[in-house]
Chain A
Amino acid sequence: MGEKPEWLQQYNLIGKIGEGTYGLVFLAKTKSPPNCGKSIAIKKFKQSKDGDGVSPTAIREIMLLREITHENVVKLVNVHINHNDMSLYLAFDYAEHDLYEIIRHHRDKGNNMINQYTVKSLLWQLLNGLNYLHSNWIIHRDLKPSNILVMGEGEEHGVVKIADFGLARIYQAPLKTLFDNGVVGAEAKSTSNPFQLDQLDKIFKGTSMRILDYMGAVPLSTKSASFDLLSKMLEYDPRKRITAAQAIEHDYFRSEPLPGRNALVPSQPGEKVINYPTRPVDTNTDFEGTTSLQPPQPVTSGNAISGGMPGMGGGMNPGNIPMPRGVAQPHQQHHLRRKDPPGTGTGYPPQQKSRR
């Protein structure tokens, strides 16, 4: 077929926005109504090894995404199959920001703290999404700031979306039971998991302090609700750790400023609104495999994704992996899935403390 695949014709490709072990992520815009001009993140799975058939990672990720619907979880818009080479593409609503970049933005600006309202809203929405996943027996297993997306300008501006379910698992059991049985702990030891148990230990112990650094806005008074919540979430023993369900009920979220839907724009007047940088786009890259067939269509509006284009409902990036943008901390960008940026969790979401 010398033609551009049919499914691809419904998009204008803008460029590459991410790359990881799983494959590539592109930014594109839908061409035709009703969502004309809407930003879409397209994740292309790396081809599986010849002879293995469709990659199990892709199957599991798509299967999971098909089953979950929640405001704080990425929305899978479409699954496309390139019939030529049987490559798989996932189309998601595009998200302009992610927590990794938001934190980095603040850190690089010296003492410019994230305001309380934003911290609280981001955290609440993250916990809300996690609670949804956990109550459906889904464990994300790769939770980190770069996988926690935040929608750009549009109807869902400032809404948190948990992304990248490439390592996620759905268990045929309530999570509590899993932990009681050390199943998750055992998996941490298995080769399929990025963490070794002893590393986990280090990560965890090292992380607690770093999180406190980043959340500079959180007062460290041991009497504050924020400190109380934080220490419960950082509890080392998953059985004692506060669950997502319990955490969203915590006093911290009941005191002013109350968390809101648009985490980036405080409802109270007078609060400063920060313009976070938009995701860099590598416009020289096009969809691999379709490159030779048709060059990407240049988009006239220059930096099309910035400046909150025609107010489309933001979008989402499943991709999670940020483009290299300057050095933050010594970490390897292309191995982000293995090496978490600082401030990350363990990959294992907080677990249910005995509920009964």
Chain B
Amino acid sequence: MGDFDSSLSLSSLLCHENETCFFDDSVSDHSNIKHEQSCFGIETEADVEYVEKLVERETITFGYRCRSSFDDCLITSHNWLKFARLDAIEWILNTRAIHGFRFHTAYLSVTYFDRFVSKRSIDEGKLWAVRLLSVACLSLAAKMEERKAPPLSEFPVEDFCFGNKVIQRMELLVLNTLDWRMNSITPFAYLHYFIRKTCGESTPKETVSRAVEFIVAMIKEIDLLDHRPSVIAAAAVLAASNRQFTREELELKMDTISSWGSLENENVFSCYIAMQEIEMGKVKTPRLVFYPSPSSIHSGSFDVLEKLFHRLQGAGIKRSLAFNECDQTCPAKKTRRP
């Protein structure tokens, strides 16, 4: 029976090209989730093996690094990239919705984006290049993950005009730059497992969709290369459980989740805090939680950001950067220190 249980829960997140994308399908299937809840506490070997392997592959394929280039970018003249990135993410998320891609696909395309800009620079102000990169990244992610990827012409590029050949060339540039390593693990792969390990507080249905929301919200706040997908997933599940955990409680929870090894508690905790900030931001004033780590934020960099922000707006490129929308949904720019 252990087998049956695990297969039920695992199946929902496993298969790549099958449509059983867990948050599109099984979220609505309440009975499934109830069932999982009833088996709380039972951890099958298959589960453990599955998560161990994911974490292992995460390390290999994700090329986990301790933050560097993006932060560095922030203090260099490439500050504008931070804003261009937000714009790219907005575009990716909107386009995801238009085509009905999974969130996993959108997330994956942002990891491509982040990996690309960590290896190659884009000249300041070349917003067309950023949009072209976004199109290529999303198209590639769709080819990897979706059952059917749309033709290039069906990606709405708004006020830009790219020929198919140009987009294809950009795809090749991305593939080459990323060394054809396109198979990254995303936090979504862990979600059901983590939820099952912590289920309790709120109804699972809400928990899943809230966790998904947190993950999506975090895409904008962090460089995806800085945080392991497992860490983001764990933080999202904890944040979604709708309870204010103290540091100690959280660590206890973490111990139950990560019986296969140690998640990076420090990182999970700061991600968790960041997500709570986002949550509060919804209620109060929106603010940009520029998260990464407590230790490595250069306070100076945010002044630069502020200046840049104004400069960009003054320069009349704001339309493309979509700061107006941004102000409402996510952000303004402000540092916080966890």
Contact = CB atoms under 8 A, between A and B. Distances in A.
Contacts of A79: 176, 180
A59 B108 CA distance: 15
B179 A66 contact: yes
B168 A173 contact: no
The residue in A173, A187, A356 that gathers the most chain B C-beta atoms within 10 A of its C-beta is A173
Interface string A40-65: 00000000001111101001101110
Interface string B44-66: 01100110011000000100000
Nearest to A177: B10
Contact of B171 (A53, A66, A171, A173): A53
What band does the interface of chain A fall in when counting residues whose beta carbon is under 8 Å from B?
20 to 34
Nearest to A180: B7
Interface of A: 50-54, 56, 59-60, 62-64, 66-67, 79, 81, 86, 137, 169-174, 176-178, 180-181, 183, 186-187, 354, 356
A52 B167 CA distance: 9
Contacts of B13: 172-173
Given A66-B181, A86-B169, A50 B11 contact: no
Nearest to A63: B182
A169 B189 CA distance: 16
A54 B14 contact: no
B139 interface: yes
Contact of B144 (A53, A59, A178): A59
A345 B86 CA distance: 49
What band does the interface of chain B fall in when counting residues whose beta carbon is under 8 Å from A?
35 or more
B306 interface: no
Nearest to A186: B18
Nearest to B149: A56
A63 B143 contact: no
Nearest to A79: B180
Contact of A170 (B50, B176, B179, B183): B183
The 3 closest A-B pairs by CB, nearest first: A173-B14, A56-B143, A181-B11
Given A52-B151, A56-B143, A56-B144, 6 more contacts: A54-B140, A56-B149, A137-B53, A177-B11, A177-B46, A181-B7
Contacts of B15: 171-173, 178, 181, 183
Nearest to B54: A172
B53 A54 contact: no
Nearest to A179: B7
5 contacts: A54-B171, A176-B46, A177-B7, A181-B7, A181-B11
Contacts of B6: 177
Contacts, number: 106
Nearest to A54: B171
B3 A51 contact: no
Interface of B: 3-4, 6-7, 10-11, 13-18, 45-46, 49-50, 53-54, 61, 139-140, 143-144, 149, 151-153, 164-165, 167-169, 171-172, 175-176, 179-183, 185, 189
A66 to B, nearest CB: 5
The residue in A50, A53, A173, A186 that gathers the most chain B C-beta atoms within 10 A of its C-beta is A53
A38 to B, nearest CB: 22
B139 A53 contact: yes
B315 to A, nearest CB: 32
A64 B61 CA distance: 11
A53 B168 contact: yes
A178 to B, nearest CB: 7
**Interface residue SS majority, chain B:** helix
A337 B6 CA distance: 35
A177 B50 contact: yes
Contacts of A50: 164
B152 A52 contact: yes
Given A59-B144, A81-B176, A177-B11, A53 B164 contact: yes
A41 B10 CA distance: 40
Contacts of A62: 175, 180
A81 B54 CA distance: 32
A183 B152 contact: no
Contact of B172 (A81, A171, A356): A81
Given A59-B143, A177-B14, A53 B180 contact: no
A178 B18 CA distance: 11
Contacts of B144: 56, 59-60, 63
A53 B3 contact: no
A54 B175 contact: yes
A52 B14 CA distance: 27
A186 B20 CA distance: 12
B25 to A, nearest CB: 13
A170 B144 CA distance: 10
Contact of A59 (B14, B140, B179): B140
Contacts of A186: 18
Contact of B181 (A67, A174, A183): A67
Nearest to B154: A51
Contacts of A354: 3
A174 B3 contact: no
Contacts of B152: 51-53
B134 to A, nearest CB: 14
Contacts of A54: 140, 143, 168, 171-172, 175
Nearest to A88: B172
Contacts of B140: 54, 59
A59 B182 contact: yes
A177 B3 CA distance: 9
Contact of A172 (B4, B14, B45, B139): B14
Nearest to B9: A177
B45 A356 contact: yes
A172 to B, nearest CB: 5
